[in-house]
Amino acid sequence: MKKTLIAIAAMAFIGAASAVEVGVFTGEDVSHQDTVGNHSNFGASVGEHLGPVSASIEYARLNVQGADQNKYSLVAGYDVTKVGNITVTGKVGATYIDNQIAADGYAGRLGVGASVPLASKVSAGVDFYHQEGQERVKAFNGNTVTAGVKVSF
């Protein structure tokens, strides 16, 4: 009984102190493999921010050499510093790469983001990350830059 009450209190505290964020973004993937080249992406994210710590689920869609690719990511972040009203966040995550015609696989990602508030519940952000994947998806290793907008609830 005591554990149940503690769990309920913790969930109430987290719910009161956090903000759900929903966002959309677009960007550019830069592969290190000449055969794959650069490709544009667009996507959406849903996340939670609790103090300086954040977690999000992201979906990105790309077209690579005429074939569609979906990326499903789990990303954790930590707000490192604030410069004026710009928040700088370190990020780490894992991505599942779902290719239409090539092999699927997993990749890790490490990056940094910066966000600035546009209104009380709206912010704009830019992210940069490097992705390294399994042997079967190593053609997609490289850097990604995205820009987007998030709304907090």
Give the pLDDT score at 33.
66
Q: How many domains are there within the chain? A: 1
Q: Tell me, what CATH number does 114's domain have?
A: 2.40.160.20
Assigned domain for 13 exists: no
Give the pLDDT score at 139.
83
137 CB-near residues (< 8 Å, 6+ apart): 97, 99, 102, 103, 104, 105, 106, 107
Assigned domain for 11 exists: no
pLDDT, tens digit (0-9, with 9 covering 90-100), for 40-71 = 899 999 999 899 999 999 999 988 777 789 99
Q: What is the pTM of this model?
A: 0.83
With a cut of 70, which residues of the chain have pLDDT below it? Answer: 1-18, 32-37
Find out whether 113 and 88 touch, Cβ atoms under 8 Å.
yes
53 CB-near residues (< 8 Å, 6+ apart): 76, 77, 78, 79
Assigned domain for 5 exists: no
